[in-house]
Amino acid sequence: MDPLNIPLCAVSIESGYAISVAHKYMELVEARLSQAESDMHSAAVEACRGIANPGEADYEILVGQVETSFAEDYRPILRFTEVIYLYMVFETYISRHVDEIQRERGEKEDVLENLRRELTKRKNKDGAGLVETARTYFRDYAHWSVLTDEEWEVLREIAEVRNCIVHNAGVARRSKNRDFIYRLESRQWPDRPVGIRILRSDDGREFGPIIVHQTFVQNYLSLLQSLFNAIAEQTCAEFWDKKRGRG
């Protein structure tokens, strides 16, 4: 898609910029956290050297505490925050894209909220999620193929990881839709693991929150980028090119 063919008001520009910002944000915060860990580790080592006849216990108290804090506290908090942030990007721009499509078709906006209520009633569920609603809109209403069936499933599973973080402190076994999370954990991205892990004892019991690796948020962002790019290309072909007589 040629960006010069898209009017400045197009949501495609907004969502593309949001994805670009997200890429840079994650790059910056990951680098800053790594630098902070290195600085604090060096300071702890120096403090240990300043102790007369330091022993292993001194090292563990000073240096070990830094390593533990980053492994068990700071980095998990960062990754959870990134997952929530990326879901916010999805939630914001999928709605704006659909509203733009509806406007161009001369049809009513806010269709996703009505569709969600319809799906909830039809399937007698506690509530249809945004991913399921968006998938239904593009498949049954717009008749656009913007993701494969498997990619929609992955996006649905990722949404449950976000919900688990927000509502259950990231503990998968407490989630009412935990089977989605388990399916996601067992997936392989085309060229690398999906990037989440649930700690389990030898007898299979879970303990602790989900471990989110950097690859997971990278994979999530890549999927969102593919989604918004596909919507942008379809929007351009369906509306802007036709208006310019290029369809």
Tokens matching residue 108? 């009513």
For helices 75-104 and 149-168, the axis angle rounded to 10 degrees is: 130
CA quadruple 173, 115, 235, 146: dihedral sign: positive
Work out whether strand 192-193 and strand 188-189 pair parallel, antiparallel, or are unpaired.
antiparallel
Place of tokens 């704006």: 96
Tokens matching residue 65? 């505490």
Q: Give 160's contacts (C-beta < 8 A, 6+ positions apart).
A: 175, 177, 178, 180, 181, 184
Tokens matching residue 169? 């402190």
Stretches where the chain sits below pLDDT 50 are 1-6, 8, 247
Tokens matching residue 231? 């919507």
- pLDDT attached to residue 126: 61
- Show me where the domains of the chain are located: 10-243
Tokens matching residue 173? 């076994």
- pLDDT attached to residue 102: 93
pLDDT tens digits for 173-195?
Answer: 999 999 999 999 999 887 778 99
R_g of the chain computed on alpha carbons = 22
- pLDDT attached to residue 244: 59
- pLDDT attached to residue 189: 81
* 104 close to 239: Cβ distance less than 8 angstroms: yes
Among 168, 146, 170, 133, which Cα is nearest to 223's? 146
pLDDT tens digits for 64-76?
Answer: 889 899 999 999 9
* 211 close to 198: Cβ distance less than 8 angstroms: yes
pTM: 0.88
